[in-house]
Amino acid sequence: MYPSLSREEVLRYSRHLTLPDVGMEGQRKLKGSSVLVVGTGGLGSPIALYLAAAGVGRLGLVDYDTVDSSNLQRQIIHGSDRLGQPKVESARRRLLELNPYIQVDAYNTLFSASNAMEIAAEYDLLVDGTDNFPTRYLLNDLSVLSGKPYVYGSIYRFEGQVSVFDARSGPCYRCLFPDPPPPGAVPSCGEGGVLGILPGTIGTLQATEALKLLLGIGETLTGKLLLYDALDLSFQTIQLRKNPRCRICGAEPSVTSLVDYEAFCGVPANDHAVPAPPAEWDVEPQELSQRLRSANPPLLLDVREAVELQISALPGACNIPLYQLAARLDELDPQQEIVAFCRTGVRSTRALHLLRSAGFTQVHNLRGGINAYAQQVDPSLFQY
């Protein structure tokens, strides 16, 4: 038995009520439904906004990041007046402003194997608003083990993907991608960039699939992968097959519970969790400034993408993007002192591990990256 609609709700949802495939019964079904949205950033913003506006009765939001000014180019659920606030609280406030007739639960915590089952237990549907592989595999396995459909979406630069994974009636994410890519093989949105409107396109498609699943209407993307390219505005649909030997949804599964997904993927679930290098590897911005003026300055190795040099750059730096570094090690002298840097220190930390494993012993990391250098040494440089 679905909850009834108030007079105010009938007026609010009137454009749904006149749709033959929705009507009063469908709208009541939405009011009685619940959706867990993991991530309240680029994808999570349009997903949560449209599900709230549509009248999904209960939304759960999981995130533990805070609102930063660099988010606002695409994370439209947040505003300039909420900088520094927890994203889930900022998003919850906006959703209740949009629709006060729904319930919004905020989970300001890392979504992990230790709490995922407990958090998801109260919801009918799982929707992916994240941008990392550990959480993606976690959501997939949670979907299979709990029997809840998983609406998947991902974005990178100008391209996006959408699918619905439901092992009860089709393949799961592991059927398509049994193993994650090697660590460092795929840049994050922070490293590679993303067209601001792209998560709006992909997130809205995810919200569409979620509503279709909740209402039981139309044909969903179960068993299909939708590919979108914003540069030529093209869509492609690839048919997917269930893998009978899939490690979690196959005939003889080897994965029967949630695992340590950061260990499985070999990468942390977010940049904040990237292990800091040993203290002796770090060079502080002020110290680097002094050493650059010495008689024997170190080689500056900029591991950012070339386009980032248009924003800020350190004079004389050698630019080898992180994702080209392994193939271009012969351009560097293993005996020379090197200080690697990037935007905030995440990519340069990875570069140090690569260089040290290749026999480079005199390599260091600019702590905090070029943003910290701009803040502490050269305020004429832009921070981004």
Last residue of a domain, one of 245, 271, 297: 271
308 found inside a domain: yes
Last residue of a domain, one of 271, 297, 312: 271
Report pLDDT digits (tens) over 95-118: 999 999 999 999 999 999 999 999
Helix boundaries (H) for 154-220: 173-176, 189-192, 198-215
pLDDT confidence of residue 183: 75
382 found inside a domain: no
Asked if residue 99 and residue 181 are part of one domain, the reply reads: yes
1 found inside a domain: no
Residue recorded with tokens 């701009």? 374
Per-residue tokens: 376 = 């502490």
Last residue of a domain, one of 256, 271, 286: 271
Asked if residue 280 and residue 259 are part of one domain, the reply reads: no
Contact assessment for residue 202 and residue 162, using Cβ atoms and an 8 Å cutoff = yes
Averaged pLDDT for residues 192-201: 95
Asked if residue 224 and residue 284 are part of one domain, the reply reads: no
Residue 302 pLDDT level (bands cut at 50, 70, 90): very high
Asked if residue 261 and residue 288 are part of one domain, the reply reads: no
Asked if residue 174 and residue 145 are part of one domain, the reply reads: yes
Asked if residue 115 and residue 99 are part of one domain, the reply reads: yes
CATH number at residue 68: 3.40.50.720
Asked if residue 308 and residue 262 are part of one domain, the reply reads: no
Asked if residue 193 and residue 119 are part of one domain, the reply reads: yes
The total of other beta-carbon atoms located within 10 Å of residue 327's CB is 9
Asked if residue 284 and residue 243 are part of one domain, the reply reads: no
Averaged pLDDT for residues 190-216: 95
pTM above 0.75, yes or no: yes
- State the total domains in the chain: 2
Query: Residue 287 belongs to what domain range?
Result: 274-376
Asked if residue 115 and residue 69 are part of one domain, the reply reads: yes
Asked if residue 246 and residue 147 are part of one domain, the reply reads: yes
56 found inside a domain: yes
pLDDT confidence of residue 89: 98
12 found inside a domain: no
> Which string of b and e fits 140-169 if b means at least 16 CB within 10 Å?
bbbbbbeebbbbbbbbbeebbbbbbbbbee
Instruction: Tell me the pairing of strands 58-63 and 34-38.
Output: parallel
| 188 has a pLDDT exceeding 90 | no
Would you name the residues annotated as active-site residues?
189, 342
**DSSP classification of residue 359:** T
149 found inside a domain: yes
CATH number at residue 340: 3.40.250.10
The CA dihedral of 154, 157, 159, 160, to the nearest 10 degrees, is 10
Query: CA–CA separation, 26 vs 92, rounded Å?
Result: 24
**E strands present in 193-278:** 224-229, 234-239
321 found inside a domain: yes
Asked if residue 285 and residue 164 are part of one domain, the reply reads: no
Least confident segment among 93-102, 106-115, 172-181, 261-270:
261-270
Residue 277 pLDDT level (bands cut at 50, 70, 90): low
Residue 184 pLDDT level (bands cut at 50, 70, 90): low
The whole-chain average pLDDT of the chain stands at 95
pLDDT confidence of residue 268: 79
115 found inside a domain: yes
Helix (H, G, I), strand (E, B) or coil at 378: coil
